[in-house]
Structure 1
Amino acid sequence: MMLAAAKVLACFALGDAAVALSGLPVPGAAIGLLALLASFAPTGGPDPETAALFDRVVAHAPVLFVPAGAGLFADPALLGANAALLVLAVAAGTLVTLAVTGAAATLAIAAFARRGRHVAEPGP
């Protein structure tokens, strides 16, 4: 598991370095995750050790959102002044997420149909 953790951390460091050197306006972690994803291409997925690491880490992922949520309520006046924009951003984000998810599901169902695989019909 230590080798898998080192691989993940190396990808994150690679992403941070790429952003620092290129000046790209994206988080280094996102570039690192893309590098990690690319490393799975030759085998078609993560090796068992990396998959086990992901299974352990994903259970603690909600903790990563606590600081953002706490920071949101640290300044009630700022929150109140921007409440309408926050509601608009959450609503727009939700609609975009639903649209993208629907489009992805439609494409996946069409791909399964082209391959002759049965896709379960929705229940009553």
Structure 2
Amino acid sequence: MRSVVVFEVPPFMSFTRRQILTGIAGLAVVGLGAGGASRYWMGRRESQAGSDFVLIAAPLDIELISGHKTPAWAFGGSAPGTELRVRQGEWLRLRFINQLPVETTIHWHGIRLPLEMDGVPYVSQLPVKPGEY
């Protein structure tokens, strides 16, 4: 004879997936401050940046199919966005202006940088609100 055990989770212990992920993200943010990460970029003089860029995120209608416009988000006036090139070891300073109707960030690939500058919203930094820079 087979017995079946039913385990009922008490209401105070039931969590949604979203609540669990939010809690994990909160722990990661707390860990950023506790880790004492090296902030070697702080205190640099303005003249130490090797390249300066202004990157504007804004809505743009693009023509993917001849004669039909498609709404898109442009970065630097184009979709896909503008390529930024700097030499290895060179310091980059970028002014990001958000003209999109929603909060956004820039998440970087292909370069080494401190976590606080990596652009993961609500983990490494706050997103840039519409109209802000």
Mark yes or no: TM-score above 0.5.
Answer: no
Structure having the larger proportion of residues in helix: 1
Structure having the larger proportion of residues in strand: 2
Higher-Rg structure is: 2
Give the TM-score normalised by structure 1: 0.23
Give the TM-score normalised by structure 2: 0.22
